[in-house]
Homo-oligomer: A and B are copies of this chain.
């Protein structure tokens, strides 16, 4: 095509490229999904967009794991560039236990959608062990490793011949065995490693690690910005050019500080000791001071122009770190989402941009049940082409468990049920946010572990009305006819676009209501698509050729169309199994076997239908409420049937 010209603001076009393997590639909505960590860091550095990251350690108990995962979700909302999970050699870190480093990192990546670095130590481990851990990490979708030596187990540590004695051995091993697959991070010690011969010798070790293939450096904590800035200059002086990220430790309490200082063999500066000692029993005061101190040190670092990102040692706590970030203006709770659902960060899901709507409130369950898929739908869901969904054994997985313990669930959903109406009451209270008759708010349901979404709130009044009458809604969305993609409630995707939705309503209801509903639906045959199914798989639908129906889509400047949510008749049958099972697994089992309460839930499970309705006429007023009204009118008319 001859010579090309690059105008201001315009990008020069490439020549005809040969055909890609897949023609249905995802329009690049969000570069973050396609870049590796070191590329993201470089892009942020180039654009001057400061970032932060968060370090966590694996929890000790399964319950703590459940809490940590919801902390990931909450802190993930602030927009960290990545999180990292430490490696606890004593805690069987590579195992499948819910408290292992490996599984926590896996959960962060796959279920919370966070870019994640898994720490890994090498001393006292065989090459095979390490290779095994790395292979497993790769298989789980982990893409970044923090290569560490680890603390020697015995009193006196001695080098092993042919063993992994230093982090640099691990870096070399990863590059040898896995080529460029992983991004590798190594640790830097602004005051020098406590065991190093000298500060200078330690810097040389660091350079070795970088030259062996590390992509960036995160430093040990320090107490003064000068410490880091000097260290950074020294790094540059000996030829280390990769990013060096300061590790920030907001002091959160007297004991945690002492413990960390002891472990890291660091000296707390006298001016800090002077402040802390007098207030050592006042946790709040220490935390406030710690926040203050961290904020001013971070400001100094950022103002130096040498620092582009800050790494926080959170100690698995939220308050102090979040506060520091908010004060720095770096906590970016962006209500805008790249897609309407929470993406997974597994590399093989990078192109995924369409999902059935059914799992909208249970994205982790969807990710779990599709984890074995080799590739993921993008562009279109496709016609009856959904591969099999995984087995339904997810109630037992910590990251899919309800955050609320049994006692709380009983308070919300009723210590004792007296009939189907008391179930209607629970659904209604969940919708309205009003306390139930015992004064407890219903903040979650078996199908939704969180309070009602802001978007669903738009439908609150109508939802309340129908739930009272036994239309037990578990999923819904209003119709949207071209709102800006930046809309705080229904917006998603890049700015300058327009988002659309077809009205959707999904509910359980009795067979009596279904019979009337089917009669009413005949009037709406061309406008409303329906799928009605019971636990036995009896299945009634008017979907043409079992094709999926796109119910959420977005139109963006300079891009192809994105349609992230569909109502797919085939996957509805897999969802049906899960939706019905939740009655039993999450609700009925709260009660004694054979108890009346349990039998009521069992009855609903056995006899109710799961119904979904789509109003295809998205530019008109949602007709689904009229459909429900017509159904009750028919039921109440003396001549019905």
Taking Cβ atoms with an 8 Å cutoff, the residues of A that contact B are 1-20, 22-28, 375, 377-389, 481-482, 496-498, 500, 518, 522, 525-527, 529-531, 536-550, 553, 555-561, 563, 566, 569-574, 614, 616, 618-619
Contact = CB atoms under 8 A, between A and B. Distances in A.
Contacts of A536: 2-3
B570 A559 contact: no
Main secondary structure of the interface of A (DSSP, over half): loop
22 contacts: A2-B536, A3-B537, A8-B522, A10-B542, A11-B544, A11-B545, A14-B384, A16-B389, A16-B570, A16-B573, A17-B385, A18-B388, A19-B387, A23-B380, A23-B381, A23-B385, A24-B24, A27-B547, A28-B547, A381-B560, A497-B616, A561-B561
Contacts of A28: 383, 544-545, 547
B543 A11 contact: yes
A169 B381 CA distance: 46
Contact of A553 (B16, B538, B555): B555
Contact of A541 (B13, B27, B548): B13
B558 A23 contact: no
A491 to B, nearest CB: 15
Given A3-B538, A22-B382, A573-B1, A560 B546 contact: no
B619 A482 contact: yes
A43 to B, nearest CB: 13
Contacts of A378: 23-24
A76 to B, nearest CB: 26
A571 B16 CA distance: 7
Given A23-B24, A547-B558, 7 more contacts: A13-B541, A24-B379, A26-B383, A547-B559, A548-B560, A550-B559, A560-B563
B25 A383 contact: yes
A375 B389 CA distance: 29
A495 to B, nearest CB: 8
A573 to B, nearest CB: 5
B539 A549 contact: no
A618 B558 CA distance: 12
Contacts of A546: 11, 13-14
B541 A23 contact: no
A15 B546 CA distance: 11
A496 B545 contact: no
A616 B558 contact: yes
Given A15-B573, A536-B2, A553-B561, A20 B481 contact: no
Nearest to A382: B23
Contacts of A383: 20, 25-28
Contact of A5 (B7, B377, B389, B538): B538
A561 B570 contact: no
B13 A569 contact: yes
User: Which residue among A16, A380, A553, A563 has the maximum number of chain B CB atoms within 10 Å of its CB?
Assistant: A380
A602 to B, nearest CB: 18
A558 B573 contact: no
Nearest to A567: B558
A382 B20 contact: yes
Contacts of A2: 536-538
A10 B541 contact: yes
Contacts of A558: 529, 542-544, 547, 549, 614, 616
Contacts of A550: 555, 559-561
A530 B10 CA distance: 9
Contacts of A544: 11, 28, 557-559
Contact of A496 (B17, B385, B526, B559): B526
List 5 A-B pairs, minimum CB-CB distance, nearest first: A1-B537, A2-B537, A20-B385, A557-B616, A19-B387
Given A536-B3, A558-B616, A570 B17 contact: yes
Contacts of A7: 518, 540
Contacts of A388: 16, 18
